[in-house]
Structure 1
Amino acid sequence: MLEIAEELHRWAEQGRDFAVATVAAVEGSTPRGPGATLAVDASGAALGSVSGGCVEAAVYELCQQALRDRENVLQRFGPADDTGLDALTCGGTVEVLVAPVRTADPVRPVVAAALSAVAAGRAVALARVVSGPQRRLGRALLVGPDGVLAGGLGAGPGLDGTVTDEARAFLDAGRTGLLEIGEEGARCGGPMTLLVESAQSPPRMLVFGAIDFAGALVGIGKFLGYRVTVCDARPAFATRARFPEADEIVVEWPHVHLDRAATDNRTVLCVLTHDPKFDVPLLRRALRLPAAYVGAMGSRRTHLDRVERLREAGVTERELARLRSPIGLDLGARTPEETALSIAAEIVAVGRGGTGTPLTGAVGPIHHNASRRQIHGTSAV
């Protein structure tokens, strides 16, 4: 449910009763991964998606049933049968947890705390009991990087402590999935299954160079869920009026800002300055960071000149191999908007393990579930 936390947070604040269907596990080729969510409120309004369409109607009905019955349901959907009804046409298999979240339910405060935290941009993991002893079903535990934030599984410190440790590991990896554990917090006791959803703080996109292409890239970066910073040393260009959608605008030499910017292995760096006095000191630092993507704009001639300057500045061949330049995929882009699309397409391809080639006539899986890399952090963002 953390995938659509901001919208669900509004529902919770409005006092709505709703049911949430969350993809708990997948096998084979599937349209959505673990953490994908469809929510339905008591009036029938819906948010999100679990399958891109093929089993949406069936899951919608399960949500309405969960609101009526006040019970969790774990439903498996597989390849199409003879009727083709309520089945995945893509050939894979998904398990979906459907859970009611009613105003009077004991789990409601834990869910509300989780939704509030994610809506505020905090990193949390929510562990919910999917199967096991009846008295544990539906219980939830909300965990942050430093420990428990809310809830409990009703079995004392042993179980809560073990699940907290496991949930923090899920959170560190930005992963959502099922956790098998014993009722007493070890492998002893009756078996239990929990769905652990993790939501990290938004990944960062740093755009260097306050040019017209940067304006289009800011918009698509926000659309993809990034926290976007625009940095340029020229105060006349790096203004709020020019980049109203940016989360942060910095007037500073790019390499100076990068030295103090908070970056991690999900961070995307887009260098649009194509000016050696900015590019070389900036890329020299950027290519040594654990960033998910480093791209630089410029012609092929600019690229070759830039590479030689970087070599002279001490950048190794291994570091240079990380540089995506000229930036973006070959879409024949000309306008700032088309160029931003080509850059975003390359960022997604690098992060998801895609090739960037047309799917028409290609072989192999369309969805790279198994090899997916964590550019965006959680399968819920």
Structure 2
Amino acid sequence: MQKKTLKALALCLIIVATNASAISELKFNGVHYLGFTSSKEDGGDRESNFETRRNYFQVKAYFNKKDYMRLTLDSFQETKGSNKDKGSWLTRVKYAYLYLDEVLPYTGVEMGQVHRPWIDYEEHHGWWFRSISKVFVESGYGAHLINSADLGVNFKTKLAHFSSEIGVYNGEGYHAIENGEGLSTEARLTYHVYDSSKGRKPSNDYINFSYFGIKSLEDNKRGNNDFTLNGLHAVYNTKQFLIAGQYIKADNGNNDVYEGDGYSLNFEYRPMDKFWFIGRYDDWDQAVASNGGGDRKHYLLGAVYNLYKQVRFIANVRQTDYDESDSLNAGIKDETQFMLTAEVHW
């Protein structure tokens, strides 16, 4: 982090601490993805790097037991462009929202820079390993269509056998320029067939079926107002294993950029509490090359060691294959990666 960022963060903490009497409780936590990756493209040289992929710092200020303000900061290294910050570690706001519970029956609302409906749900029900790969709809090796947060409002409903998130957003995502030309509606609807949990834990038994979708309301970065995304997802989890699968299709009217369809499957096998095996397969058919190439397949296999509840280690290999017969993949090489990761929560 830069000195200005650290000073700003320290000032925010001082202000919060000074006004702590105005709130009932403060909660702090952090998440870190630390790792080593060795990558090689076909015919190319091997590249190996130690990494700190993500460092999240979060504070929640509770006004009562259910209503709160959340701020989540995300550090990252600037690697693009030629500006003066290239190579520096910067900090951006991931989430900054007010949550009010029961604004409607069984429904709360996030206002500000909020969750988009789908990605956070999948990361806490179907794919628990954000530290080594983003979910299918976000990953550059998969569909590469949206990210996890945006400015807007998100209504979150939860019943015994049904939950949903429905919102209106700027549509550009939290690290794109918000130009007021991308409003979209986004939704997730989930039927909880069976759920033994009162929280999101791999050890709980549950079966869920979900629909998720996006519809642009105005012209946006995708070039028109006809962008739609529709997806179906199912997951079955027990203490011993998890299996999940999904299908998504993206259409963009007369503009082929951001169009495509594909599916993803993943599993976990947990022979012991501390030792797991994981795997995933992504298959995406891309309309044009402007969104990361043409048709591609992504394979991932790994092993997980849970040292503590807060610390896990992951070793995995991943392979991305690009269809050589697809002219959209001209110049893009197949890639193999070996990864070692320490995932830390506190």
TM-score class, shorter: under 0.3
Please report the TM-score for the alignment, with normalisation by the length of structure 2: 0.25
Please report the TM-score for the alignment, with normalisation by the length of structure 1: 0.23
Higher relative helix content: 1
Higher relative strand content: 2
Indicate the structure (1 or 2) with the bigger Cα radius of gyration: 1
